[in-house]
Amino acid sequence: MSFHPAIRPRRLRRTPALRRLAAETRLHPAELILPAFVREGLTEPRAIAAMPGVQQHSLDSLRRAAAEAAEAGVGGVMLFGIPETRDAVGSAADDPDGILNVATRAVAAEVGDALVVQTDLCLDEFTDHGHCGVLDAAGEVANDATLERYAAMAIAQAEAGSALLGLSGMMDGQVAAVRAALDAAGHADTAVLAYSAKYASAFYGPFREAVDSQLTGNRRGYQQDPANRREGVREAELDIAEGADVVMVKPAMSFLDVLSDVAQISPVPVWAYQVSGEAAMIEAAAANGWIDRRAAILESVTGIKRAGADAILSYYAVELAGWLR
């Protein structure tokens, strides 16, 4: 017997030129966003053991990293601050002299319009208990009292020069609260990125080291259950109704179905976050010689784009931009 199929999808896979032309998904540096950590009081950047290649920056090294990202054509930076002192309500978060606000001013002055300067709007780096909100008498994260803290943080970040506030705390009504506070304070042009579908994930592990997290316990009382797909869409719909300019799904790799669902219903851009643990898996496997590091990074980020992300937060943003040139 011999077989001669008439339909041969392999024809378009035959040469690099054919494969390039037939590619359905393309990555571009402008749709990549670099998350960056800045730690109060540092004079030199400090390595993060669980995140090879990523640092806790000093103000100076952060400025240089932002300039380098702009030079590489990356679309934006997302800043995270690590304060020297923490308290129950995260006072440093809305203090204009708090590290995140100081760093935002410094980076905005450094890069001007070459990069969209964005800030994480959440209390977990600033509270001494490590939760994303303030606690009530029973030790539970108090939703509505936290909204007041987020509103104050939003104004401080907008005043520091953040163009896009990344609301990552998963409190109900946070987009509406922040939007109202910004508008009342004369910051109608400051945009809101809602981490709409943010799951209580094991893949945030390395990030917790990066920000010296004080958390004991977990965030399952406010972040979503990884078992839930429909709920991710509902969270995005609520945030869009509350005025979110961008919605996000996070982590990316284990929630590509949710990302795809949200991309289908969303009238606003949909972003995804390739989180610390996703990078850590790639780094650990590559360090052991078990996977091809570059191919794995490209496949992972291409998959996130293919699933429906318009832009992607990735610790590899600058490195990827270099490869894509």
Residues designated as active site: 198, 250
CB 45 within 8 A of CB 56: yes
Choice from 31, 40, 94, 124 touching ligand PBG (CB under 6 A): 124
Q: Kindly state the smallest distance separating residue 276's Cβ from ligand PBG, in Å.
A: 3
List all residues 6 or more positions away from 6 whose beta carbon is below 8 Å from its beta carbon. Answer: none
Structure tokens at 152: 């104050």
Q: Which is nearer to ligand PBG, 42 or 279 (CB)?
A: 279
Structure tokens at 195: 């981490």
168 binds ligand PBG (CB under 6 A): yes
126 binds ligand PBG (CB under 6 A): no
Q: Which is nearer to ligand PBG, 116 or 170 (CB)?
A: 170
**Angle CA(48)–CA(249)–CA(50) in degrees, nearest 5?**
15
154 binds ligand PBG (CB under 6 A): no
Structure tokens at 310: 């318009």
Choice from 118, 190, 196, 276 touching ligand PBG (CB under 6 A): 276
CB 262 within 8 A of CB 247: yes
Q: Give dist(CA 99, CA 18) in Å, integer.
A: 50
Beta strands in 148-280 (DSSP E): 164-167, 191-198, 246-250, 270-274
Q: Kindly state the smallest distance separating residue 195's Cβ from ligand PBG, in Å.
A: 7
275 binds ligand PBG (CB under 6 A): yes
Choice from 150, 199, 204, 271 touching ligand PBG (CB under 6 A): 204
* Contact footprint for ligand PBG (CB under 6 A): 120, 122, 124, 168, 204, 207, 219, 275-276
